């Protein structure tokens, strides 16, 4: 099994990473696609992802609302693929 490492980014670092991935943060603090301005939806909860609560998962462009539930769901699916 592969080890997964998490890094905590400063806000400006996270914004730079989001920019590189084609996203930005709107005035309400929601992550949106730069071109379409469509809100980023968490693939686990199907809710808009707010910058203050966002995680960008390692090795992917998946952005989720960070909670014990979403992390558990994501890693359950991740481990099933192994």
Please state, rounded to an integer, the average pLDDT across all residues of the chain.
88
What would the pLDDT profile of 54-63 be if each residue is shown by its tens digit?
Answer: 998 876 788 9
- The DSSP bridge pattern shows strands 63-65 and 54-56 to be antiparallel
The pLDDT tens digits of the residues spanning 2-24 come to 666 778 899 999 999 999 999 99
Nearest to 21 by CA among 13, 4, 70: 13
CA–CA separation, 64 and 53 (whole Å): 8
pLDDT value at position 31?
98
- Work out the average pLDDT over 55-72: 86
**Tens of pLDDT along 33-54?**
999 999 999 999 999 999 999 9
Three-state SS sequence of the chain = CCCCCCCCCCHHHHHHHHHHCCEEECCCCEEEECCCCCECECCCCCCECEHHHEEECCCCCCEEECCHHHHHHHHHHHHHHC
């Amino acid at each position: 099994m592969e080890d997964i490492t998490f890094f905590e980014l400063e806000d400006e670092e996270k914004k730079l990473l989001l920019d590189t991935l084609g996203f930005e943060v709107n005035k309400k603090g929601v992550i949106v696609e730069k071109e379409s301005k469509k809100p980023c939806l968490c693939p686990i909860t199907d809710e808009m992802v707010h910058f203050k609560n966002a995680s960008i998962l390692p090795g992917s462009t998946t952005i989720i609302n960070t909670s014990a539930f979403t992390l558990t769901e994501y890693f359950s699916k991740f481990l099933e693929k192994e």
